[in-house]
Amino acid sequence: MRTFTLLFEDDGSEARRVEFEAFDTSAAFSLLERERTARKATLWENDKRLGTIVRNDGDFWQVSA
């Protein structure tokens, strides 16, 4: 398993860090589904930034590198 970190920005809600172990990055989506819509997070694997993920108001995901 690999170790990943989601860093949630301070966007009026609390900024926070969530570490999790998974086989691949897809596990991040199940964690993000628990957040309110339009919450932005940066996904890291160790010290490597993998990208930014936002669940928009229309319940679709926007992923950028």
| pLDDT (0 to 100) of residue 45 | 97
pLDDT, average across residues 48-55:
91
Residue with tokens 């694997």: 45
In the predicted structure, residue 54 carries a pLDDT above the cut 90: no
Model confidence pLDDT, tens digit, residues 10-47: 777 778 899 999 999 999 988 888 877 677 899 999 99
What's this model's pTM, rounded to 2 decimal places? 0.83
| pLDDT (0 to 100) of residue 58 | 64
Distance of CA 11 to the CA centre of its chain: 14
